[in-house]
Structure 1
Amino acid sequence: MANDEADRVLDAREIDGEPFSDIMAELDALETGETFLLVNSFEPEPLYTVLEQRGFTYDTTEVDASEWEIRIEHA
């Protein structure tokens, strides 16, 4: 997915330290109908439960071994 297709983009690889609070802030700001693209260096499997509990759907793509894109939207 190209970054320009998402309303909000967060590259967690650029965050120094734990990115969880940054990810939660993006989710809180995400309006219905908007798309949030999370770029990460690994598949963030623990995040999936949080997304489901908060009413989001997601689609994960492995771009390469060190780049994963997770497209997140309101369910």
Structure 2
Amino acid sequence: MEQRIIELDVREDLKNKIEPFQKIMEAIKEVKDNDIFILHAPFKPVPLFGVLKVKGFTHAEEEIDKKYWKVTFTKKA
């Protein structure tokens, strides 16, 4: 089974005061075991870590710039 990468950038949504939680939840519905979901956000989305952990994801975060975080979530098989 081929590993897929699904990316979502919510920086513009948050800049425009649009809550991206629903968009994120919709995106992760597409993520299968061992797939990768990459989230681009203007801050470290700590509350999301617990929500996605319950759904079987591990994560690694990287601060790219002062207001740019890249978080890589992997769905455990």
Q: Would the TM-score normalized by the shorter structure come out above 0.5? A: yes
* Identical pairs, percent: 33
Q: Deviations over 1:15-35 (max 9, x none)?
A: 240000011111111112211
Q: Describe the SS at the equivalent of 2:50.
A: helix
Gaps of 5+ in 1: 1-5
Q: Describe the SS at the equivalent of 2:43.
A: coil
Aligned to 2:48: 47
The alignment's C-alpha RMSD in Å is 1.3
Aligned to 1:60: 61
Residue 14, structure 1, aligned to residue 12, structure 2: yes
Give the TM-score of the pair, scaled to structure 1. Answer: 0.85
Give the TM-score of the pair, scaled to structure 2. Answer: 0.83
CA distance in 2, matches of 1:7, 1:28: 13
Residue 35, structure 1, aligned to residue 7, structure 2: no
For these two proteins, the number of residue pairs brought into alignment is 70
CA distance in 2, matches of 1:48, 1:20: 12
Name the structure with the higher helix share.
Answer: 1
1:8 corresponds to which letter in structure 2? I
User: Does 7-16 or 49-58 show the bigger shift?
Assistant: 7-16
Gaps of 5+ in 2: none
